[in-house]
Amino acid sequence: MPSSVKALGPARPSGANMAPQAHCCSPAAVQRWLPILAWLPDYSLQWLKMDLIAGLSVGLTVIPQALAYAEVAGLPPQYGLYSAFMGCFVYFFLGTSRDVTLGPTAIMSLLVSFYTFHEPAYAVLLAFLSGCIQLAMGFLRLGFLLDFISCPVIKGFTSAATITIGFGQIKNLLGLQDIPRQFFLQVYQIFRKVGETRVGDAVLGLVCMVLLLVLRLMRDHVPPVHPEMPPGVRLSHGLVWTATTARNALVVSFAALVAYSFEVTGYQPFVLTGQTAEGLPPVRIPSFSVTTANGTVSFTEMVQDMGAGLAVVPLVGLLESIAVAKSFASQNNYRIDANQELLAIGLTNVLGSLVSSYPVTGSFGRTAVNAQSGVCTPAGGLVTGVLVLLSLDYLTSLFSYIPKSALAAVIVMAVAPLFDARIFATLWRVKRLDLLPLCVTFLLCFWEVQYGILAGTLVSVLILLHSVARPKLQVSEGPVLVLQPASGLHFPAVEALREAILTRALEASPPRCAVLECTHICSIDYTVVLGLEELVGDFHRHGVTLAFVGLQVPVLRVLLSADLKGVQYFSTLEEAEKYLRQEPGTQPYNVSEDSVPEHKIALLKA
């Protein structure tokens, strides 16, 4: 695709991508809520051509993946397709990234299997409730909460999920039956039953994985097309590009054709997907109760059954989608609005639940296909959505011939790139302490996903709080003791700072004057004021002086408001040292409005 075209579309520095702060009825505000208005007036035939190509490419990728991810979620195959089209239409209107595609993903499918007990009614209700939570977060502009989940926690979760998903497909690759879904039991039962492997499934699964790998490597090494190339070369390039981009569909179709050929002969060596419900899903509100053999499960009981899933699923969905959007926005030089993305994914899940969708999020793999295909606007999603609907209406009768081993191969090859083995070495080299939340999350996610994410986030927050409570103190020994907190000063750090200063200055013999260099302190609270007041009093009782240098205006404002007595400060460190050495010509400022320099008085009153 020409680079001039790639720069168009939502990448323009206007409309929703810039998220202007404007009056609620202004055109800019309307564009912020409806990003489609930012690019639709400039839509061109060239963009239409590129969006059609990208939409078809993603559609041929998502159909086999959706069938496979339904297996990961523990749901009938059609539920994967039910979940694959609503996001295409919603994101067309509300999305702020031209590249992102919403739909079922491996990680979200894994979470659905954990929290919905393989019951479609639970999965659809979880989509509805997750969407409501995500919409509320978007309207309340709570996207910043996702910033508290650090990169090591995300990497630990995705790596554990990759292993869980990949190992969970070994039973289908080997054709094993009656394997539990709990990870450790699954590992035990697979090794126990490995002697029951069906040769047909194992061979077909291996062949499909090899084909997918070869096609992906071909795609990564296809040289770019140049206008001066002969038409025949460009045609062959286009055919290779199409085959490698639609590799999932090609491999699954090949496997289904092989299985159908055996079916005709009356011998079937593969475990097949089986009957898939035909036609489009009915439009209806989610079931708020479920009737089982043991009676009716009420809405309250369903919510209690899903438990932590009501927090984990919407948060991970938002995290995954926004991470994908930010990644491709950075690569392709445009901006996204995180809060608008919350609204888009929330509305997708709410409306998707009306057509029996389970929770969805942004897909990294399909978004990469979308971007590599040269998509120009979110309109490419319309093509993908229509293709999924057509497959539901006309092709579901053929899906029953797809071998489960072929879908397992698709899943394994899709999740393999998510495992980042290099992150361990990177963190060891960059900051070893970050390995702690990574490993805690990674290990606990094999037990329960919510415990892994919660524990990893808690460890990350504790590391952050420790740095706040115990900031590094730079000490310069000389005629005058100079101490400089290397970061901000907050109430948990006051006692540690006081002890450090007392130890170095007042417990020396004789007691020494000291300078507290406050350049890096931009705000303080009342607890810090009290601590400083006690510290100044300690110095006064020992007959020495504690001087302050580099007080920022917000700090001065707080000290003035607290009417702190006895605090002496200087504009520069040189002035403070000269005064404390009792050299003539330098006088300190006291913390009172009369003694504050005129330029700082103006800033304080601003």
Q: Where are the beta strands (DSSP E) in 437-527?
A: 473-476, 481-485, 514-517
> Domain limits of the chain?
43-223+231-271+305-419, 428-467, 471-582+593-603
Cα separation, 584 vs 563, whole angstroms? 28
Query: For residues 47 and 373, is the Cβ–Cβ distance under 8 A?
Result: no
CA distance 417 to 365: 9
Q: Half-sphere exposure of residue 171, counting CA atoms within 13 Å on the CB side?
A: 21
Q: How far apart are CA 373 and CA 103, in angstroms?
A: 18
Distances (CA, A) of 541 to 370, 481, 530, 581, 597: 71, 18, 17, 19, 28
* Closest by CA position to 564, among listed 593, 585, 599, 598: 593
Q: How far is CA 486 from CA 364, 471, 490, 514, in A?
A: 39, 6, 12, 17
CATH superfamily of 471-582+593-603: STAS domain (3.30.750.24)
The reported pTM is: 0.78
The answer to whether 137 and 129 have CB atoms below 8 angstroms apart is no
Task: With beta carbons less than 8 A apart as the criterion, state whether 343 and 27 touch.
Answer: no
406, 81 Cβ separation under 8 angstroms: no
SS3 at position 133:
helix
Angstrom distances, CA of residue 108 to CA of 156, 167, 249, 407: 15, 16, 21, 17
**What is the per-residue pLDDT across 216-235, written as a single tens digit (0 to 9) for each?**
898 888 777 777 778 888 88
> Half-sphere exposure of residue 413, counting CA atoms within 13 Å on the CB side?
28
| Digit-coded pLDDT (tens) for 300-356 | 999 999 999 999 999 999 988 988 888 888 888 888 888 889 999 999 999 999 999
Which residues are paired to 482 by β-bridges? Answer: 476, 515
Tokens of 168: 């969970």
What pLDDT score does 17 carry? 42
> CA-to-CA distance for 248 and 152, rounded, in angstroms?
31
Residue 420 has a CB neighbour count (10 Å cut-off) of 14
Q: Which of the residues in the chain have pLDDT under 70?
A: 1-26, 583-606
SS3 state of residue 359: coil
Spell out the residues 6+ positions from residue 126 whose beta carbon is closer than 8 angstroms to its own: 112, 115, 116, 306, 309, 310, 313, 358, 359
Contact by Cβ (8 Å): 101, 362: yes
Q: Residues 487, 464: contact at Cβ < 8 Å?
A: no
Q: Cβ distance 524 to 489 under 8 Å?
A: yes
Cα gap 336→235, rounded to integer Å = 36
User: Residue 84 has what pLDDT?
Assistant: 96
Nearest one of 320, 258, 400, 284 to 108, comparing CA atoms: 320
Q: Over the stretch 159-178, which tens digit does the pLDDT of each residue have?
A: 898 899 888 889 999 988 88
Q: Which pair of structure tokens corresponds to residue 419?
A: 């495992």
Q: What is the pLDDT of residue 229?
A: 77
Sheet of 481-485: strand order equals: 473-476, 481-485, 514-517, 546-549, 568-570, 589-590
Angle between the N-to-C axes of helices 151-168 and 404-415, in degrees from 0 to 180, rounded to the nearest 10: 160
* Helix (H), strand (E) counts: the chain: 29, 10
In terms of DSSP H, where are the helices of 291-363?
A: 299-306, 309-331, 338-353
Cα 362 → chain centroid: 9
Radius of gyration of the chain (CA): 31
Strand partners, 290: 297
The closest alpha carbon to 535, from 508, 510, 500, belongs to 500
Within the chain, what is the greatest distance between any pair of CA atoms?
107
- Residue 587 · residue 579 · CB < 8 Å: yes
Residue 10's pLDDT is 40
SS3 content of the chain, % helix, strand, coil (to 5): 65, 5, 30
Q: How far apart are CA 71 and CA 81, in angstroms?
A: 12
478 near 510, Cβ under 8 Å? no
Question: What contacts 355, CB < 8 A, 6 or more positions away?
Answer: 82, 85, 86, 281, 282, 283
Beta pairing, strands 361-362 & 290-292? unpaired
